[in-house]
Structure 1
Amino acid sequence: MNQRFIELGQGFSDLYELLELAKSNAYRVHYFLCLEAVSAKGKKGMSFVLVLKKSSYGDFIPLYICREGIPVIEGKVTKRYELFEQAAKEQEKNVIHMEVRHSDSFADIDLYYQYLVGILRMNRYLPPLQ
């Protein structure tokens, strides 16, 4: 089973693309994830992840991510989070929240994505290797 992160970017327009992917692939959407992390500089950020079910051709599970581009403001819900949560509700899904390490604590972005895949497998959001 091939599971791979596909990074869309960190900007506002990238979130719109993620939401459009969720809408156009509604039959494949498995999970909406919100990953919170604190950078080495102490700034909290969120990553939004859209986990799709495996494709009908082959064993590929894509994980589309907008990585750490959404700031966390204590006591306030941001408009970007509201849009993500609304997309999940439209598909009768819940947003799953997790706290993870920030990507800047890894030497390479591929190591960061391997770390996330391990966490998602451990929590049974992704199937184990076959």
Structure 2
Amino acid sequence: MIQKFIHLGEGFNDLYELLELAKSNQSRIHMLLRLDSVYDSIERSSIVVILQPASPGKMMPLYLCLEGIPQPEKKPSERYRLFDQVASDLNKPIHALQVKSAKEFKELELYYQYLIGVLRMNRYIPPLQ
């Protein structure tokens, strides 16, 4: 199975799209995820909606709003509150991981490969088949 990140952006419109994807694909949700990172003493969170592959497809999409939200424990934000509300409405927990920042990588594609490895190692997503 192929896992692929789909970057939506960091703004409110991107977040609304991510939340709508979660709500309209409730039966396909594999996991809701928060990725915390620190870069130059700035603590940010990315939010991810991981869906099961479409039938008969073999691609697991990971929809991502990258490092656009302050870490909720440090600074509450409306964007994270909306994500938390959707998780509550869907009765799905939000899993959290501490990861490197995307800014530590020269290319975004290398960052995505790093994240895929971290998620596989933690058994959040299935191994490559």
Whether 2:62 is the aligned partner of 1:63: answer yes
Counting only pairs closer than 5 Å after superposition, residues 77-96 of structure 1 correspond to structure 2 as 77-96=76-95
Letter in 1 for 2:115: L
Corresponding residue of 1:107: 106
Corresponding residue of 1:122: 121
Q: Is the 8 A contact 2:18 2:64 kept in 1?
A: yes
C-alpha distance in structure 2 between counterparts of 1:73 and 1:122, whole Å: 25
Where does the alignment leave 5 or more consecutive residues of structure 1 unmatched? Answer: none
Q: Give the CA RMSD over aligned residues.
A: 1.2
For residues 12-42 of structure 1, the C-alpha deviation after alignment (integer angstroms, 9 at most, x for no partner) is 2111110000011111011110111011x22
C-alpha distance in structure 2 between counterparts of 1:109 and 1:76, whole Å: 26
Could you tell me the TM-score, scaled by structure 1's length? 0.94
Where does the alignment leave 5 or more consecutive residues of structure 2 unmatched? Answer: none
Is 109-118 or 84-93 further displaced after alignment? 84-93
C-alpha distance in structure 2 between counterparts of 1:27 and 1:79, whole Å: 26
Q: Is the 8 A contact 2:14 2:65 kept in 1?
A: yes
Letter in 2 for 1:116: L
Q: How many residues align?
A: 129
C-alpha distance in structure 2 between counterparts of 1:2 and 1:90, whole Å: 29
Corresponding residue of 1:20: 20
Deviation at 1:76, TM superposition (A): 3.8
